[in-house]
């Protein structure tokens, strides 16, 4: 399967001891998170993740649950937009996770800070195209 050229990304600054500033950029495309080539696969993925208990849908790790909220859910929203499928109510935003009691956030994610991220298109520059164009 060839990798589709993405035109939406999440940009992060991550710790990097080798960098002069101690940080380096990390660029994540939706296909780096989930490979969803068509509407049928998207529907199967939505059905898989639709359950109410993330502890039963994911590996039992704080990293996996945090990755789910910060990357998998935004990727699913991106693919809903791409394949013109209505975003299910359970996937519309991260309000539920952000408003959990602190004790539950620590238990689920190992942190109190849940970063709400969305895949955004590359900016277009005058006289040029984005890399996906």
What is the arithmetic mean of pLDDT over 97-115?
Answer: 92
pLDDT tens by residue, 37-95: 999 999 999 999 987 677 778 888 999 999 999 999 999 999 999 999 999 999 999 99
What is the arithmetic mean of pLDDT over 90-113?
Answer: 93
Specify the 3-state DSSP secondary structure of 130: coil
Q: What is the pTM of this model?
A: 0.82
pLDDT level of residue 2 (50, 70, 90 thresholds): very low
Could you give the count of Cα atoms lying within 13 Å of 40 in the half-sphere of its Cβ? 0
Average pLDDT score, the chain: 86
Q: 91 Cβ partners below 8 Å, 6+ apart?
A: 46, 49, 73, 76, 77, 80
Rounded Cα distance between 42 and 75, Å, is 10
Share of the chain above pLDDT 70, in %: 87
Query: The tokens 């710790």 sit on which residue?
Result: 15
Predicted confidence at residue 125, as pLDDT, reads 62
């Amino acid at each position: 399967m060839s990798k589709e050229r993405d035109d939406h990304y999440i940009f992060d600054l991550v710790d990097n001891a080798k960098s002069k500033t101690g940080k380096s950029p990390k660029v994540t495309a939706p296909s780096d998170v989930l490979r969803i080539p068509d509407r049928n696969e998207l529907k199967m993925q939505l059905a898989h993740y639709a359950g109410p208990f993330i502890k039963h849908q994911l590996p039992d790790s704080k990293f996996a649950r945090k990755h789910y909220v910060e990357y998998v859910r935004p990727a699913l929203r991106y693919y809903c937009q791409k394949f013109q499928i209505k975003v299910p109510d359970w996937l519309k935003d991260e309000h539920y996770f952000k408003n959990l009691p602190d004790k539950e956030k620590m238990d689920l994610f190992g942190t109190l800070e849940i970063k709400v991220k969305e895949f955004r298109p590359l900016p277009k520059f005058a006289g040029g195209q984005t890399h996906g164009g």
